[in-house]
Amino acid sequence: DQQVKQNSPSLSVQEGRISILNCDYTNSMFDYFLWYKKYPAEGPTFLISISSIKDKNEDGRFTVFLNKSAKHLSLHIVPSQPGDSAVYFCAASGLGGATNKLIFGTGTLLAVQP
Amino acid sequence: EPEVTQTPSHQVTQMGQEVILRCVPISNHLYFYWYRQILGQKVEFLVSFYNNEISEKSEIFDDQFSVERPDGSNFTLKIRSTKLEDSAMYFCASRSTGTPNTEAFFGQGTRLTVV
């Protein structure tokens, strides 16, 4: 039961270009979406998030877009830098319960080529 | 910057043995979680803990698993009788509140290898 899906296991882009990472979800009850970045041998680190009542959130080089009707979100990184090379996880939250666990996608490995 | 710390970084254990994975969450956080990632798969929720009790657990978190906050700073995950399929990276996380928009901070993980 994959409620959050990242269909591209990997993505390679040139330094300075735009990276677009995609995520789809199936449960319309999610009300918050997050992107986490993970380097090897480290835990996931929070990158950016968006509430379901918004369609865009921007933080520096990172922008997340949400299309609720399509149950789709994307993370744009502009311009991409070699240090952005990592696994990016899409996560969703808000299914209720006291602690609002995160439901993660399978991740996309981004490689930014110098 | 405050961080979540986990020990050990790597644990190798014989099948059937008990293991305890340790975590020190961020000191003023109230909500604690364990997640795991089997190699090549997604990060999966195991259990959440608040106010000294389990708030929610997944179907993975069966009777072989338990969590404890023994002394107000540590948060432990115990697996009573490990199986080969328990081999994974185990991540501890903590949050200051349980609302969806509150960032979860993750530790660097413990790689558990069951042989």
What is the nearest CA distance from A78 to chain B, expressed in angstroms?
Answer: 23
What residues of B are in contact with residue A101 (Cβ under 8 Å)?
33, 45, 48, 56
What is the nearest CA distance from A58 to chain B, expressed in angstroms?
Answer: 15
A82 three-class SS = helix
Q: Measure the CA–CA gap between B82 and B11, rounded to whole angstroms.
A: 12
Mutate to test the interface with B, among A66, A90, A101, A108 (most CBs of B within 10 A): A101
B106 with A100: Cβ contact below 8 A: no
pLDDT tens-digit map of A25-84: 999 889 899 999 999 888 999 999 999 999 999 999 999 999 999 999 999 999 999 999
B31 with A99: Cβ contact below 8 A: yes
Supply the pLDDT for residue A97: 66
Query: Which residues, listed in sequence order, are joined to residue A45 by a DSSP beta bridge?
Result: A37
What residues of B are in contact with residue A46 (Cβ under 8 Å)?
103-105
Structure tokens at A63: 């922008």
What residues of A are in contact with residue B31 (Cβ under 8 Å)?
99
Structure tokens at A2: 């994959």
pLDDT tens-digit map of B58-81: 999 999 999 999 887 899 999 999
B103 with A43: Cβ contact below 8 A: no
- Torsion sign over Cα A96, A101, A102, A103: negative
Q: Measure the CA–CA gap between B43 and B100, rounded to whole angstroms.
A: 17
Residue type, A23: C
What residues of A are in contact with residue B44 (Cβ under 8 Å)?
104
B35 with A102: Cβ contact below 8 A: yes
On the CB side of B86, CA atoms within 13 Å amount to: 26
Mutate to test the interface with A, among B101, B105, B110 (most CBs of A within 10 A): B101
In sequence order, the 6+-apart residues with CB closer than 8 A to the CB of A45 are A36, A37, A38, B106
Supply the pLDDT for residue A98: 66
Q: Which of the residues in chain B have pLDDT under 50?
A: none
Residues B70-103: b if buried by 16+ CB within 10 A, e if exposed: eeeeebbbebeebeeebbbbbbbbbbeebebebe
Confidence category of residue A95, pLDDT binned at 50, 70, 90? confident
Number of Cβ within 10 Å of residue A85's Cβ equals 19
